[in-house]
A and B are shown apart, each in its own frame.
Chain A
Amino acid sequence: MRLEVKNAHYSLLITQYPILESMKLTLKIWRQKSASAKGKIETYQVDGIEPDMSFLEMLDVLNEGFVEKNEEPVVFDHDCREGICGTCSLQINGEPHGPDSLITTCQLHMRKFNDGDTIVIEPFRATAFPVIKDLMVDRSSFDRIQQAGGYISVNTSGNTQDANNIPISKEDSDLSFNAATCIGCGACVAACKNASAMLFTAAKVSQFALLPQGKLEATRRVLAMVEQMDKEGFGNCTNTGACEIECPKGISLENIARMNREFMSASTEG
């Protein structure tokens, strides 16, 4: 049994995909030339969209059309296209990451839409997320919150204690992991009527609050991160809960409750 040359077979398959039901769509997209320019919604038509395509692949088709006419394509943030990097961030028909739950924009597929649909596409809206261009926003406010305290102060040591020295209960470990799955996309901020970043901040505070390694600096951490969060211009939390619903990783509101407890206890310490 020898491997034969069958590569040609594969590439032929690529170009012979039968186009099943293809869709025509009307897209209303926010265009903004630069941070200081005024933006507005423009309307475009796009054709030949197949249900198995992802939403971003649909935008690729739209953009290919722009390049053909030597016009500027729509700029949007994306990278991994598999739901983990947190880069993609589109508000689709008023929902961060569009219809369907527990997914990011790049995991949304066109089978969620119908032929003839109109789709409104905007950037994530928040004062702390200024627009850079078209649908791309600046989320460095998130990084600055992390820089304020989202870490455990330990240097890289060639000689730190064995990883199994401190047992951590499976329950705490699992809860910490669940909080740590936050991908920093900002959907929570975009969903919130107050543009609050509580779920994002609480996720990191919780991850460390649940681990013995994180407990030492818990007080300083929560105060510093909340202070930075407030400085950035995010709104306050009024326990609406839209964040939890829209979060692609299903981060729980319980983390906000935990952070509130940490904050209370830190504020009344000493």
Chain B
Amino acid sequence: MSILDSKTPKGPLSEKWSKYKDEINLVNPANKRNIDIIVIGTGLAGGSAAATLAELGYNVKTFCYQDSPRRAHSIAAQGGINAAKNYQNDGDSNYRLFHDTVKGGDYRSRESNVYRLAEVSGNIIDQCVAQGVPFAREYGGLLDNRSFGGVLVSRTFYAKGQTGQQLLLGAYSAMNRQINRGKIKAYNRHEMLDLVIVGGKARGIIARDLVSGEIERHSAHAVVIASGGYANVFYLSTNAMGSNVTASWKVHKKGAYFANLCFTQIHPTCIPVSGDHQSKLTLMSESLRNDGRIWVPAKLEDAKAIQAGKLKPTELKEEDRDYYLERRYPAFGNLVPRDVASRAAKERCDAGFGVNKTGAAVYLDFESAFLRYGKETAKTQHIENPTDEKIRELGKAVIETKYGNLFQMYEKIVDQNPYETPMMIYPAAHYTMGGIWVDYDLQTTIPGCYAAGEANFSDHGANRLGASALMQGLADGYFVLPYTIGSYLAADIRTGPISTELPEFEEAEKNVRTQLENLINNKGTKSVDHFHKRLGKIMWDKVGMSRNATHLNEAIVEIKALRDEFYKDVRVPGTANEMNPELEKAARVADFLELGELFAKDALHRNESCGGHFREEYQTKDGEALRDDENFMYAAAWEYTGNPADAILHKEDLNYENIEVKTRSYK
């Protein structure tokens, strides 16, 4: 065990970043041309970092497994991006955004990183508008805002229900400009399979061309991991099918500590599972909770009738409905943070009040929004004495403008019309606050290896607020890394290109080839998906929304056993020298089978309930999370020893000098 140093600059919180930027080492423009940087992942963090570093003059190579950088899963983010602009004049400020984010993270994030995030948040919006990102605007021509969970101000900027896509396309367009200039070389349909360390520094990667199967060596003076989160360890999550932890896991195995794995976010509003062959879960944006009200039947017999299909939700009167979030949390109501909302939904469903045939669903109802917006529109359009029907029609039109694509998406999947009957939703694995440990520079414990976006652990603590992932990804890529990585690279202005003939590259390539050959040649009988599904089940059942020591210990044993079985019995058809999705999946699942074990170990060691990590043994009498600040106010960073169960714990103590640590209450 050791105490980690975040290398946070000294001085008052609001001046740390600006003073730091004034004092860091710089690289002169001519020298930047002699420096190579590799970026893994082209989502918001990776794409923005690659574009900005290339603009500055570095030679950048990007790698993504998809066929184009624009396919990164950041594209699916729906609801919005936070920034402390205070355009709505409702009391927002850098400090308040910082405060809300630290509180939302249940006091388990690094103060200095979060303050910096809030500080640059406004710049992000300005930059996106300059790039031509079509944010929603009001009639006066200015940007519109909406509210998100866990906050009392309206600071979220959005582009209908497609904010992630629009922001990513902004970064993608900036990348394209650099590709056109020759400053970025984009290796699409390529997957990083190992990190190469030379002289103690990250100096390159081994990558596989997914089309030809060829193994390639790529060198650089620094490597940025921006490959996203590990929610797919649950098999069913809102992530893309290809989302994986491989790049992060491989750098972890080479010495980058992996932190806070147990802080994972279960998103409360996703479309419920419909059957055994479900391949992924679909997110319904949190922004819907601005206008939707969550409820279950108040009476058990009504719930049973609905489950059996004998009663319709529209037939239940108001007094027979339990708007349980409004009941339990009057101050925040339906906009409580995600962990609170997810646990509340689970509590009602476990008690028998769920509303679909499996009992694992609650309602997200827009009826009162239809009426409210309808009445408002009737007024502004001077319609005298509108009928109920007219009001509803007007209201539906407003909802359609705000969330149109989300409602359509729901209908296609569930085959029910959410304009006529309430939506059904249930929590699903969505985002991972845990990730590669990084210091204030976003550098991992491997010199020259950086981690940005969801791949790193830093800014969201134990729970991420809605609309802040987009903020963090772009902050890291546009406004943090270009400075901090430059400071490191100032030492490399004379190094010259790193040779890929070095023995370290040869060794790493050999290991990658061996790994792939073992998978291809294995004489197994079961598909990769078979093992992935079983892993997902163990994780959801025993390391999911609600955890306890018994189950966590069982999970550790079961995952190890499953991993051993995987290596004995996985079957991967085809060869390694061609496009082979089964082989790609096998290598990714192999990494999840290790990560899952460390995840359970991290959850077991953290004897408190905090944010997205809920331990049944540590709760208040109302069922809320019970933190143990005295013993657990730290980030748990794990060092790989060859066996996930034997990982060594390093702690980063978290000290809050600028915010009063309170029990997180949304009542």
Which residues from chain A sit less than 8 Å from chain B, CB to CB? 1-11, 13-15, 17, 33-34, 50, 52-54, 56-57, 60-61, 64, 66-68, 70-73, 75, 77-87, 100, 102-103, 107, 109, 111, 132-133, 136, 138-140, 142-143, 146-148, 150-158, 160-164, 166-170, 173, 176-177, 180-181, 183-184, 207-208, 211, 213-214
Is B75 in contact with A80, judged by CB distance below 8 angstroms?
A: yes
Given contacts A7-B551, A170-B141, contact A213 B278 (CB under 8 A): no
What are 9 A-B contacts with C-beta separation under 8 Å?
A79-B71, A79-B73, A146-B176, A150-B173, A151-B173, A152-B130, A173-B135, A180-B169, A183-B75
Of B268-276, B432-440, B485-493, the one with at least 4 CB within 8 A of chain A:
B268-276
B180 part of interface (Cβ distance < 8 Å): yes
B6 part of interface (Cβ distance < 8 Å): no
Is A87 in contact with B166, judged by CB distance below 8 angstroms?
A: no
Is A67 in contact with B176, judged by CB distance below 8 angstroms?
A: no
Given contacts A80-B73, A176-B134, A207-B132, contact A17 B358 (CB under 8 A): yes
Neighbour of B129 across the interface among A7, A67, A163, CB < 8 A:
A163
Is B360 in contact with A13, judged by CB distance below 8 angstroms?
A: yes
Is B177 in contact with A151, judged by CB distance below 8 angstroms?
A: yes
Of B287-295, B463-471, B574-582, B590-598, the one with at least 4 CB within 8 A of chain A:
B574-582
Give the nearest-CB partner of B482 in chain A.
Answer: A156
Is B134 in contact with A180, judged by CB distance below 8 angstroms?
A: yes
Give the nearest-CB partner of B184 in chain A.
Answer: A147
B26 to chain A minimum Cβ distance, whole angstroms, is 14
B610 to chain A minimum Cβ distance, whole angstroms, is 15
Q: Which residues of A contact B125 (CB under 8 A)?
A: 163
Residues of B474-508 whose CB lies within 8 A of A = 478-479, 482
Q: Which residues of B contact A167 (CB under 8 A)?
A: 137, 140-142
Residues of B136-168 whose CB lies within 8 A of A = 136-143, 159-160, 162, 164-166
B408 part of interface (Cβ distance < 8 Å): yes
Q: Which residues of A contact B135 (CB under 8 A)?
A: 163, 173
Is B87 in contact with A140, judged by CB distance below 8 angstroms?
A: no
Per the bound structure, the CA–CA distance linking A164 and B343 in Å amounts to: 39
Per the bound structure, the CA–CA distance linking A102 and B404 in Å amounts to: 12
Give the nearest-CB partner of A67 in chain B.
Answer: B527
Per the bound structure, the CA–CA distance linking A121 and B392 in Å amounts to: 42
Is A68 in contact with B527, judged by CB distance below 8 angstroms?
A: yes
Per the bound structure, the CA–CA distance linking A152 and B614 in Å amounts to: 46
Which 6 pairs between the two chains have the least Cβ-Cβ distance?
A: A167-B141, A151-B173, A6-B350, A177-B134, A67-B527, A163-B129
Neighbour of A11 across the interface among B68, B76, B277, B537, CB < 8 A:
B537
Neighbour of B137 across the interface among A13, A136, A168, CB < 8 A:
A168
Interface of A is mostly: loop
**A-B interface pairs (CB < 8 A), number:** 261
Q: Which residues of B contact A82 (CB under 8 A)?
A: 76, 280, 282-283, 409
Is A156 in contact with B173, judged by CB distance below 8 angstroms?
A: no
Is A85 in contact with B75, judged by CB distance below 8 angstroms?
A: yes
Interface residues on B, range: 35 or more
Binary per-residue interface labels of chain B (615-651) against chain A in the complex, 1 for a CB within 8 Å, 0 otherwise: 0100101110000000000000000000000000000
Binary per-residue interface labels of chain B (50-62) against chain A in the complex, 1 for a CB within 8 Å, 0 otherwise: 0110010000000
Q: Which residues of A contact B128 (CB under 8 A)?
A: 163
A15 to chain B minimum Cβ distance, whole angstroms, is 7
Give the nearest-CB partner of A179 in chain B.
Answer: B134
Q: Which residues of B contact A73 (CB under 8 A)?
A: 573, 581-582
Is A107 in contact with B412, judged by CB distance below 8 angstroms?
A: yes
A62 to chain B minimum Cβ distance, whole angstroms, is 11
Give the nearest-CB partner of B609 in chain A.
Answer: A3
Per the bound structure, the CA–CA distance linking A264 and B139 in Å amounts to: 31
Is B579 in contact with A8, judged by CB distance below 8 angstroms?
A: no
Give the nearest-CB partner of A169 in chain B.
Answer: B141
Given contacts A73-B582, A157-B130, contact A5 B551 (CB under 8 A): yes
A46 to chain B minimum Cβ distance, whole angstroms, is 12
Per the bound structure, the CA–CA distance linking A229 and B278 in Å amounts to: 39
Per the bound structure, the CA–CA distance linking A169 and B545 in Å amounts to: 45
Is A6 in contact with B346, judged by CB distance below 8 angstroms?
A: yes
A77 to chain B minimum Cβ distance, whole angstroms, is 7
Is A156 in contact with B51, judged by CB distance below 8 angstroms?
A: yes
Given contacts A1-B622, A52-B275, contact A14 B76 (CB under 8 A): no
Is B76 in contact with A84, judged by CB distance below 8 angstroms?
A: yes
Neighbour of A213 across the interface among B71, B131, B139, CB < 8 A:
B131
B127 part of interface (Cβ distance < 8 Å): yes
Q: Which residues of B contact A139 (CB under 8 A)?
A: 67-68
Q: Which residues of B contact A102 (CB under 8 A)?
A: 408
Is B478 in contact with A146, judged by CB distance below 8 angstroms?
A: no
Is A7 in contact with B540, judged by CB distance below 8 angstroms?
A: yes
Given contacts A17-B275, A79-B241, contact A3 B614 (CB under 8 A): yes
Given contacts A80-B73, A87-B67, contact A151 B176 (CB under 8 A): yes
B529 part of interface (Cβ distance < 8 Å): yes
B599 to chain A minimum Cβ distance, whole angstroms, is 15
B666 to chain A minimum Cβ distance, whole angstroms, is 16
B529 to chain A minimum Cβ distance, whole angstroms, is 7
B562 part of interface (Cβ distance < 8 Å): no
Q: Which residues of B contact A181 (CB under 8 A)?
A: 162, 165, 405
